[in-house]
Homo-oligomer: A and B are copies of this chain.
Amino acid sequence: MNDSRPIRAKSGTNHEGTSAHNRRVMIDALRINGALSRADLARATRLTKQTVSNIIEELERDGLVSSQEAVRRGRGQPSTPYRLVPEGAFAIGLQIDRHVTRAVAVDLVGSVLVRDEAGLPPGGPSNGTKVILDLVAGIRSKLAGIVQQSEKRLVGLGAAMPGPFGVAGSGDDPWMMEAWQKFPLLETLTAGTGLDVGLQNDAAAAATAERMVGAAHGLDHAVCLFVGYGIGAGLILNGELYRGANGNAGEIGMALLFADGKSTPLEHRASLASLYQHLSIDPADAGLYARINDLALRGDQSIHAWVEAAAVDLRWSIHLLETLFDPQTVILCGSAPEALVNRLIAAIGPLLPSIAERRGRTLPRLQPGMADPWSVALGAAAGPISRAFDPRFAAILKDSLQS
């Protein structure tokens, strides 16, 4: 009898899953609240003092937390606060963009320790792979030079590049990095570095960065609208990055706008690519960012028209993201000249009315996020850190326990 249809089921869990979760919860609490005593942690996590003590002891042995000086807080024995040890873990983040690749080394609390970039030669993966692997190797050796045991504490390599992934029939769209997207990047990087490798699109990486060290820190529901060469949204839902069924969730750049009787993807109207086109600039130009930043700062007229038009589309995009995701806040970030992003934010307001206008609202509906060419690489690095240390459902399940 050959009744071998595959059985689909979620994985069960056991003691190790419990323990792994509780460790992550401790780390998360310290990340969000800063230093906390064991008693604080016990109350906040609803675990017993004893359990917290055991876990903290273990985390301290692993070099992930350390005690600070005892604090007197009224009656009773003074408490000993513990904090995350930044050099407790590192991750490498890698951004692969159209003309350039950037890599950073980041520590447990999201500080960038090393950064470096290299131009990407035309020709896609066949020419670029070596450049990338060399860049990563350089970062690793520099990191090893400034901190102890960096290799042992390296939890993974996160890569970020423009999406979408695995989509059929867009071969002739110059806005996509077709060749790179078909390339088995994960496998190549894994083989070339020996690290655990993850891949996400650049907007998702930016959102991960915002959650670790930016405007989404400690938030469980946030949407990051990311303006770079393209435009996309990074989604933090229920405290985790949401990837969708195929890692393409949030690709708002592909959303069609109907205007003037024709449909246009948002990406063709509100992105650096569209600005370059508007200004007839070559995107491969080296001093581009500085030049545009300068134009934006000076309030240049050539940029003004584009900013105003893009702001209309972004205002609508924000409205749509609020309507569909009901986030606590929307963050406008980008891998773009900061002055340009600031001008966009100024031009966007006031926002369209939406369900985000609630009674008792505390956070602003729209907040500025990082506007820094390095934020995507930072977010790429934050991915492995988050995967290794943040509490999440998948980490509890038996089929994800490695140790």
Contact = CB atoms under 8 A, between A and B. Distances in A.
Contact of A22 (B12, B41, B168): B12
A209 to B, nearest CB: 20
Interface in A312-369: 316, 319-321, 323-328, 352-355, 357-359, 361
A316 B256 contact: yes
A3 interface: yes
A52 to B, nearest CB: 8
Interface in A154-195: 164, 166-169
A142 interface: no
A169 B166 CA distance: 43
A12 B242 contact: no
A12 B21 contact: yes
B237 A242 contact: yes
Interface string A240-273: 0011111111111011111100010000000000
Secondary structure of the A contact surface, majority rule: loop
Copies held by the complex: 2
A90 to B, nearest CB: 24
Interface string A28-71: 11001100100011011111000100000000000000000000
A243 to B, nearest CB: 8
B1 A73 contact: yes
Given A324-B324, A357-B167, A7 B21 contact: no
Contact of A244 (B44, B244, B248, B327): B327
A153 interface: no
Contacts of A247: 326
Given A254-B323, A255-B320, A357-B169, A8 B221 contact: no
Nearest to A11: B46
A9 B245 contact: no
A336 B97 CA distance: 47
Interface stretch (A290-298, A300-308, A390-398): A390-398
A1 to B, nearest CB: 5
Contacts of A8: 29, 32-33, 44, 218
28 contacts: A1-B72, A7-B33, A9-B29, A9-B33, A9-B41, A9-B44, A10-B29, A10-B45, A11-B45, A12-B21, A12-B46, A12-B51, A13-B396, A168-B359, A233-B324, A244-B327, A247-B326, A249-B324, A250-B326, A251-B323, A252-B324, A254-B323, A256-B316, A256-B352, A258-B258, A258-B259, A321-B324, A393-B396
